[in-house]
Structure formats: C-alpha cells, structure tokens
Chain A
Amino acid sequence: MTGETVDLHAMINGKSTVDGVLHSAPILRFVDALLIDPDDLPQARTALRDILSDAAFVDTCATVASFNAVVKVADGTGIPLEDFKADKTARLRADLNIDQLREHGRF
C-alpha cells in the first residue's frame, strides 16, 4: 500500500464507500453496525463474511475491537497528539474537523 489516494471523509462523514479500499462498503457497514447500529449487526456480519475469508473476518473484528478500546486510553488520560503528528496532519485534521473532537468535552 503506497501512493494510493483515499477519500478520508468517509471516516468522519459516514460515507458508505471509499474508492481505493477493497470491500470498503461492507467493512464500513460492519463497523457502523457494531458500534452504533446493533439492529443491522447480524446482516452486516453475514454480508462481510460472504466476501472475506474466515481469517480476514477475524482480523476485521479484532481491528474494530482495538479501536473501540484504545480510544478509552487517549480520552481517559488526556494525552495530546504528538507534535510530529500534529505538524504532518494539520491540514488533514482541519479539513476533516478532527480537532473539534478535542474541544468536544470541554463544557
């Protein structure tokens, strides 16, 4: 995976497909079902398993589990983004409104 162009707005805006990422639509549907749309989970799981190998399905499940967990560590301790990451991703973060998430809890 090098030099490919990916529309990252899908991650933030809930788009249903991402050009350049194989099986993006059923993967995104599965993530959404798992985390915010439980009524769709059985169907989304079946749709994903229809196109992925069993081992790939397990790795997909594991990846969602990781990112549903590690956010607790970041959010619960208030660590800042590293400077080198912030510098490299400043435009991207502004474009995707990611920085607003940092302010989200400050009431």
Chain B
Amino acid sequence: MSRLEVNSELLPARPALVNAIELAWHRLASPGTWWNGAERLAIVKQVRNAADCDLCKRRKESLSPYTVTGEHPAADGLTTEALEAIHRLTTDASRCTGRWVKSITGDQLSEEQYVEIVSIVATVTGLDTLDLALGRARRALPPPTTGNPTRHRPAGAIKDLAWVATLSPETVSADDPDPFPLHGSINIHRAMSLVPQEVINFFDLDVELYLKDHEIRDFEHEFREISHAQIELIAGRASAINGCYY
C-alpha cells in the first residue's frame, strides 16, 4: 500500500491511485493538445474561482440559466467564450445544451479547445473533490511546464454521436492517440475523443478513482476496499445530485 497524507495523518491507498493522482496533476500543468501548460492551469484556476462567481450563482438559482445575462470575472489569457465554458461546466453542467455549445464555439473558442476544457474541468473537479472528501486542503497549483500544444485534430472525427465531433475505434488513425484499447469505447469514452489524448488523461485517473471498465460488471470479484454495491450506491447518488442523465 502507498499512503495519502491528510493533515499529517498517512492513510493507506492503492499505489495505482496515488500514481494516477500525481500523473493527473503533472498533465494538468503540461502542454496539452490545444492549450499550453500555463493556459491549462489558468483553466484550473477558473474552475476553482467559479464557485464564487456571482453570475454563476444567479444562473444556478434561475429556472433557466439562459435567461440570466452578465459576465464572469475576467481572467488573463482566456476569452469570454472559454470563461463561459469553464464556469458553466463547473457550476451547472447538467443544464448544458447542444445549442449552448454551438453558441460558444467558433472563432474565439474552437470545438477542440472546448473539449479539452471539458476534460480539464472534469479532472480538476475529481482531484479537488477527492481532497475535500479526505479532509485536506486543495493542492496548490504546480508551475506550468513549458512547451507548445500539439494541435493534432484526428482526421476521422465526425459529429455523429454528441454535440461535438468524436472518434470511434473504426475511425482512429495511426497518428492519433488511441484511448479505446486501454479504456473501452462506449459513449463516455468516445465523448472527448475529438481530443483523444484527453480521453487517456481523464480515464487514467478515473479508473483508479472508480473502476476499470472490465471491473465494473465483474460481480464475482471485489477490486476495492468497499463493495460493488457500496460503489454503485455512491455512484448513483452522486450522479443524481448532479442531475446527470447518463
């Protein structure tokens, strides 16, 4: 067993979980596919700021977030469209719509940049939720790693599944990062495949927080220190609280 330090207490944890957490933080600070390391950390910072955003609070309380106008606090290096994406995904994701995604993507925020934002928001939400659950302070942001994003768009990505273009195992090409053999290819794995490296980044963490795809329905074995039934109880309640249909 490895250890997670929580307020000077060392809690036993699976080595794979501890490694996945460290790798996720390293990746958040590193150049991605469409954002560089500093930009990715700026997105992380906005995820953390969104909880205190007045516009987000007013929208969350409104019957429809689309009737409340205003601006999120400005942030260096991020466009209005990027801020809108980060804040909405962080505070009110269940009321995202295809029309909203279409309205904020374009010249100022490409669809590829949007998908990478989805991954960053999801990743830091997972990491910060874990720390909050454990009872330890949010991790200070690491320094960014220099370098340029790869800007690789998969040639086979098409818009036939989701609000954004996606890949399937059949449309991955040799020069694309291929997340499907490792993590699976159901819709949740395809969701961010316009930026396939982000599928790998997010699910490398998520399978250690939750379960690997083949472990989920293997009811003959337990893979965690809590049972399948307890895990799915948590999963169902958390998804319901978040208003997630999937």
Contact = CB atoms under 8 A, between A and B. Distances in A.
Please classify how large the interface on chain B is, using the bins under 10, 10 to 19, 20 to 34, 35 or more.
35 or more
Contact of B94 (A11, A34, A75): A75
Interface residues of A, number: 64
B105 to A, nearest CB: 12
A73 B17 contact: no
B187 A80 contact: yes
Contact of B133 (A6, A65, A101): A65
Interface string A1-40: 1101010101110000010111110011011101110000
Given A67-B210, A101-B244, A1 B229 contact: yes
Decide if the interface of chain A is mainly helix, strand, loop or mixed.
Answer: helix
B13 interface: yes
* Among A4, A6, A21, residue most surrounded by chain B Cβ atoms (within 10 Å): A21
B237 interface: yes
B236 to A, nearest CB: 3
Interface string B185-206: 0111011100000000010001
A65 B127 contact: yes
B121 interface: yes
Contact of B226 (A54, A56, A77, A98): A56
Contacts, number: 234
Nearest to B223: A59
A82 interface: yes
Contacts of A18: 233
Interface stretch (B26-34, B76-84, B157-165): B157-165
Contacts of A76: 89, 93, 96, 101, 118, 121-122, 191
A72 B11 contact: no
Interface of B: 1, 4, 11-13, 17, 63-67, 89-90, 93-98, 101, 115, 118-119, 121-123, 125-127, 129-130, 132-135, 161-164, 166, 186-188, 190-192, 202, 206, 208-210, 219-220, 222, 224-231, 233-246
Interface of A: 1-2, 4, 6, 8, 10-12, 18, 20-24, 27-28, 30-32, 34-36, 41-42, 45, 52-82, 98-99, 101-102, 104-107
13 contacts: A2-B219, A12-B236, A52-B226, A60-B133, A61-B130, A64-B129, A66-B206, A67-B235, A73-B202, A78-B164, A79-B191, A102-B245, A104-B94
